[in-house]
């Protein structure tokens, strides 16, 4: 490379970085263009933060990425994952051809026509032999909104089947249940912008520094600028997030419900609650009856910090201090992720977080908000909002709601009664019901998965592998995975920058990514695949966006979606494709018209457009009194109130016993992402945390004669896993931690995890299992950075 080009590139990237923070450089590159033909606006593919990026394209290749300085999510900065997307795109392991498994077990490359014919002939045959619910769809919070919407419409409107699920069931369903049961409507009240207004930040069950690095960065910078801001971390493990914490609430896994109740008790005992706000905006309830404040206080009387310390191992003094800071800071914001959700009491845990905000009035004002962060980039926009789950329809309204069903049927031009009023099976039940044609007890005989890897990511895997193996399994993905190893047909998918579409991140913000380059090999966009399946099954009228112009297809699907949901509280009617192309930072719903700027905070008069939305009020029979500054208008009782829930204490489904004396908890580490399908192929990400490993406290390690690197067998009543030990004080004694990204069979921790589900959200208790451990051997040279490269490798 010539010196002048090197210098040009250096000055060019520096100029762009300087411009992003408003610094002018003495020596400017001719253009801060980093030698690209064009910059294309888009979103990052790798987490629910929703960082906005520009993709640099040159000669049909992605050769640069930069953060969008105008973005309201990341202000121009990206974490390492965001930059390394090109390694996924151009990795030699990318699936490039359609493949059908042959009798000898190997895959044969076939044309798209042959693959689609094979898939749809089989689906037709299964439908005719076993009924409309014999084929299921299992989607993903990584699919584009248009893709989820298309598959949802194809199944619910075309096949008349509600056997539609997605992996957000495994990570976010309890947050959805929490929002709906407390406020009557899914998704947060506020926005990331509350971080910079907050005086106290309560991080619960979220290793923000590892899982949402850009959010963590915002919190860290806010704290650095304002040292008086208090940061409280409530987590079983002392994670890297604790670096910036003023107070750590260590708790045994699954016992934090007692801590939240205890904080509420301390708040009431000290009169730190906001009774006026509570009276106007909330009701105290157990779901059957409503109660007065005295009854709530009576309910809490046993949750003294001292008693709760005995139950949870969280020091009483820390509970008191946390309650004080939370209630008296003036603006407290809570942020949480899977630690609160992946539990058999996940909905309750979410409710109790909302309780703390409602009793202190820490909601509906700047800096005060209970905020659930999503793990996947489009769990909110793609799956929750389009209703691509077994019990929902677009607009996050239940399939069992006859009025909404009739509305959707009309919009989709279907005969009345087409959509089945009965919800399909939730994820765990769906996989439990999946099997071969010879299995009379397995009603689901075929499945299509889109951008997800259930053969690695489901808990208690031993129970579900056979069903996937025996059924007719069609997998749409960009890489070979554990699930392609069980598939009958593999369809190669395009990467986000090869197809475009909309992602909706944790803060109700929808952002459009435009197609940047052509897909590799014969890969195709998932929405195109869905539309072709519809066409081959004679349903092209239902899904007419089946041309070869993918941005046009996307736009048609999006336009229909925002029309169908225009009168809901989630309205994106004003977020047309034209507008999303122009808007530098996307748009937050509700956004009811093309001149509306999007909504920073819901339920607040003057901020939330639903107060004035005639169509919404008429459709949902909502009336709003003019004297209320805030009004929870989706309240089922029509009083505009949120529910403060009296949820009794309940621990995890499995507690340690003499035989299984340890708690096992699982999670993500910074560079890895979910099952590692993509991130494990990026060498520097793989190197940082290459294998699954077992974190164990030094006291426990000593007791079992374990030193760093020793191979340890972890066993629950469901299965076992063998991992190298990492001895660290990051966890409390008695608590083990294993990350979840490793694809190597022995180290796949999901064989050990619990598949017991929350009765409300049906989300499984990934986070907590009772286990025993045994040292197997000293350090072994384990197969580092194991990935599945060969499509013909067996499970």
Partner 1 sequence: MIYSGSIVFIEPDCLEEVSEMLDDLQGVDIHGVSKDKKQLVVSIEAESDELLEELSRKIKSFEPVLDIGHHVMHFEDEVDNILQGKKIPDLKGFQRSRRREKNPLDAV
Rounded CA-CA distance 10/17 in Å is 11
Rounded CA-CA distance 348/335 in Å is 16
The item of partner 1, ligand SF4, none sharing an interface with residue 63, based on CB under 5 to 8 Å by kind, is: partner 1
Decide: is 220 part of the binding site for partner 1 (CB under 8 A).
yes
Buried residues in 755-765 as b, exposed as e (16+ CB within 10 A): bbbbebbbbbb
Decide: is 242 part of the binding site for partner 1 (CB under 8 A).
yes
Task: State the binding string over 21-40 for partner 1 (x if CB under 8 A, else -).
Answer: x-xxxxx------xx-----
Minimum Å gap between C-beta 1 and partner 1 is 7
Give the nearer residue to partner 1 in terms of CB position, either 506 or 731.
731
Minimum Å gap between C-beta 621 and partner 1 is 48
Give the nearer residue to partner 1 in terms of CB position, either 237 or 345.
237
Give the nearer residue to partner 1 in terms of CB position, either 23 or 406.
23
As to burial, measured by CB atoms within 10 angstroms (0-12 exposed, 13-18 middle, 19+ buried), residue 505 is buried
Q: Which of 131, 521, 638, 683 binds partner 1 (CB under 8 A)?
A: 683
Rounded CA-CA distance 232/462 in Å is 38
Give the nearer residue to ligand SF4 in terms of CB position, either 337 or 460.
337
Which has the closest alpha carbon to 630: 334, 370, 397, 358?
Answer: 358
Q: At what angle do helices 145-153 and 526-536 cross, to 10 degrees?
A: 20
Rounded CA-CA distance 485/473 in Å is 10
Task: State the binding string over 705-744 for partner 1 (x if CB under 8 A, else -).
Answer: ---x-----------------x-xxx--------------
Decide: is 392 part of the binding site for partner 1 (CB under 8 A).
no
The item of ligand SF4, partner 1, none sharing an interface with residue 44, based on CB under 5 to 8 Å by kind, is: ligand SF4
Decide: is 328 part of the binding site for partner 1 (CB under 8 A).
no
Which is it for the CA torsion 188, 192, 193, 197, positive or negative? positive
Number of neighbours of residue 228 by Cβ within 10 angstroms: 9
Per CB under 6 A, residues contacting ligand SF4 are 44, 46-47, 49-51, 74, 78-79, 81-82, 212-214
Rounded CA-CA distance 142/471 in Å is 24
Q: Which of 51, 55, 78, 543 binds partner 1 (CB under 8 A)?
A: 78
Return the residue matching tokens 């960082």.
51
Minimum Å gap between C-beta 59 and partner 1 is 9
Which has the closest alpha carbon to 189: 613, 614, 589?
Answer: 589
Q: What is the token pair recorded at 413?
A: 């031009």
Point out which span in 85-93, 296-304, 574-582, 599-607 binds partner 1 (CB under 8 A).
85-93
Point out which span in 54-62, 125-133, 226-234, 442-450 binds partner 1 (CB under 8 A).
54-62
Which has the closest alpha carbon to 285: 425, 391, 182?
Answer: 182
Minimum Å gap between C-beta 87 and partner 1 is 6
Decide: is 96 part of the binding site for partner 1 (CB under 8 A).
no
Q: Which of 90, 521, 638, 779 binds partner 1 (CB under 8 A)?
A: 90
Decide: is 681 part of the binding site for partner 1 (CB under 8 A).
yes
Minimum Å gap between C-beta 219 and partner 1 is 12
Give the nearer residue to ligand SF4 in terms of CB position, either 216 or 303.
216
Instruction: Cite the beta strand spans of 307-412 per DSSP E.
Output: 332-336, 369-372, 392-393, 397-398
Q: Which of 114, 117, 129, 221 binds partner 1 (CB under 8 A)?
A: 221
Rounded CA-CA distance 539/45 in Å is 31
Q: Which residues contact 10 (CB under 8 A, 6 or more apart)?
A: none
As to burial, measured by CB atoms within 10 angstroms (0-12 exposed, 13-18 middle, 19+ buried), residue 623 is exposed
Q: Are 279 and 670 in contact (CB under 8 A)?
A: no
The item of partner 1, ligand SF4, none sharing an interface with residue 46, based on CB under 5 to 8 Å by kind, is: ligand SF4
Minimum Å gap between C-beta 727 and partner 1 is 9
Minimum Å gap between C-beta 724 and partner 1 is 9
Which is it for the CA torsion 543, 547, 551, 552, positive or negative? negative
Decide: is 209 part of the binding site for partner 1 (CB under 8 A).
no
Decide: is 307 part of the binding site for partner 1 (CB under 8 A).
no
Rounded CA-CA distance 273/360 in Å is 5
Give the nearer residue to partner 1 in terms of CB position, either 203 or 557.
203
Binding-site ranges for partner 1 (CB under 8 A): 1, 6, 9-18, 20-21, 23-27, 34-35, 56, 58, 61-67, 69, 76-78, 80, 83-84, 86-87, 90-92, 217, 220-221, 224, 238-240, 242-243, 681-684, 686-690, 693, 708, 726, 728-730, 784-785
């Amino acid at each position: 490379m010539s010196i002048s080009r090197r210098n040009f590139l250096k000055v060019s990237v520096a100029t762009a970085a300087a411009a992003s923070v408003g610094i002018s450089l003495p020596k400017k590159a001719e253009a801060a263009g980093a030698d690209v033909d064009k910059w294309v606006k888009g979103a990052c593919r790798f987490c629910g933060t929703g960082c906005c990026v520009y993709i640099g394209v040159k000669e049909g290749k992605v050769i640069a990425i930069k953060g969008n300085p105008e973005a309201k999510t990341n202000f121009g900065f990206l974490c390492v994952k965001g930059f390394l997307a090109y390694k996924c795109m151009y990795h030699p392991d990318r699936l490039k051809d359609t493949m059908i498994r042959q009798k000898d077990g190997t895959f044969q490359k076939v044309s798209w026509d042959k693959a689609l014919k094979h898939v749809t002939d089989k689906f037709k045959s299964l439908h005719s032999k076993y009924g409309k619910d014999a084929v299921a769809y299992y989607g993903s919070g990584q699919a584009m909104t248009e893709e989820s919407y298309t598959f949802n419409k194809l199944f619910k409107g075309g096949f008349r089947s509600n056997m539609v699920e997605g992996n957000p069931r495994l990570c976010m369903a309890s947050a959805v249940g929490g929002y709906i049961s407390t406020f009557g409507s899914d998704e947060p009240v506020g926005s990331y912008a509350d971080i910079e207004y907050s005086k106290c930040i309560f991080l619960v069950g979220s290793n923000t520094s590892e899982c949402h690095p850009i959010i963590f960065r915002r919190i860290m910078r806010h704290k650095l600028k304002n040292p008086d801001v208090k940061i409280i971390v409530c987590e079983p493990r002392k994670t890297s997030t604790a670096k910036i914490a003023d107070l750590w609430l260590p708790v045994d896994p699954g016992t934090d419900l007692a801590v939240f109740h205890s904080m509420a008790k301390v708040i009431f005992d000290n009169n730190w609650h906001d009774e006026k706000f509570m009276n106007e905006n909330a009701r105290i309830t157990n779901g059957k009856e409503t109660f007065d404040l005295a009854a709530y206080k009576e309910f809490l009387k046993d949750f003294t910090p001292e008693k709760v310390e005995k139950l949870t191992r969280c020091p009483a003094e820390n509970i008191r201090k946390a309650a004080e800071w939370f209630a008296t800071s003036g603006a407290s914001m809570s942020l949480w992720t899977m630690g609160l959700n992946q539990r058999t009491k996940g909905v309750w845990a979410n409710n109790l977080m909302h309780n703390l905000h409602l009793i202190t009035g820490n909601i509906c004002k700047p800096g005060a908000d209970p905020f659930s962060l999503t793990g996947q980039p489009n769990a909110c926009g793609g799956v929750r909002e389009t209703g691509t789950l077994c019990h929902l329809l677009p607009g996050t309204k239940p399939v069992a709601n006859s009025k909404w069903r009739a509305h959707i049927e009309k919009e989709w031009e279907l005969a009345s009664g087409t959509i089945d009023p009965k919800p399909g099976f939730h994820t765990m039940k769906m996989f439990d019901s999946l099997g071969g044609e010879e299995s009379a007890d397995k009603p689901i005989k075929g499945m299509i998965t889109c951008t997800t890897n259930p053969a690695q990511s489901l808990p208690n895997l031993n129970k579900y592998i056979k069903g996937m193996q025996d059924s007719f399994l069609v997998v749409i993905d960009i890489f070979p995975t554990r699930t392609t190893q069980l598939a009958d047909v593999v369809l190669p998918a395009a990467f986000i920058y090869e197809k475009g579409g909309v992602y909706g991140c944790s803060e109700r913000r929808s952002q459009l990514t435009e197609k940047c380059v052509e897909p590799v090999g014969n890969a195709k966009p998932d929405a195109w695949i869905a539309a072709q399946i519809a066409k081959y099954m004679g349903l092209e009228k239902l899904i007419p966006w089946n041309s070869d112009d993918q941005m046009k297809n996307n736009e048609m699907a999006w336009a229909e979606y925002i029309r169908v949901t225009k009168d809901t509280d989630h309205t994106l009617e004003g977020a047309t494709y034209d507008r999303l192309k122009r808007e530098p930072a996307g748009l937050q719903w509700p956004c009811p018209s093309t001149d509306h700027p999007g909504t920073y905070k819901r339920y607040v008069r003057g901020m939330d457009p639903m107060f004035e939305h005639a169509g919404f009020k008429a459709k949902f029979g909502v009336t709003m009194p003019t004297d209320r500054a805030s009004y929870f208008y989706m309240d089922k009782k029509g009083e505009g109130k949120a529910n403060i829930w009296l949820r009794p204490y309940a621990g995890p489904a499995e507690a340690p016993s003499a035989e299984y004396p340890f708690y096992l908890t699982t999670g993500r580490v910074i560079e890895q992402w979910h099952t590692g399908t993509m991130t494990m192929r990026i060498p520097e990400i793989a190197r940082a945390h290459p294998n699954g490993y077992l974190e164990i406290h030094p006291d426990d390690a000593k007791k079992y004669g374990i030193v760093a690197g020793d191979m340890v067998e972890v066993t629950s009543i469901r299965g076992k896993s063998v991992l190298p030990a990492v001895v660290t004080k990051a966890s409390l004694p008695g608590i083990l931690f294993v990350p979840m990204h490793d694809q190597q069979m022995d180290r796949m921790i999901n064989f050990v995890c619990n598949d017991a589900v929350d009765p409300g959200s049906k989300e499984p208790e990934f986070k907590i299992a009772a286990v025993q451990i045994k040292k197997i051997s000293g350090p072994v040279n384990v197969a580092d950075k194991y990935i599945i490269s060969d499509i013909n490798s067996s499970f």
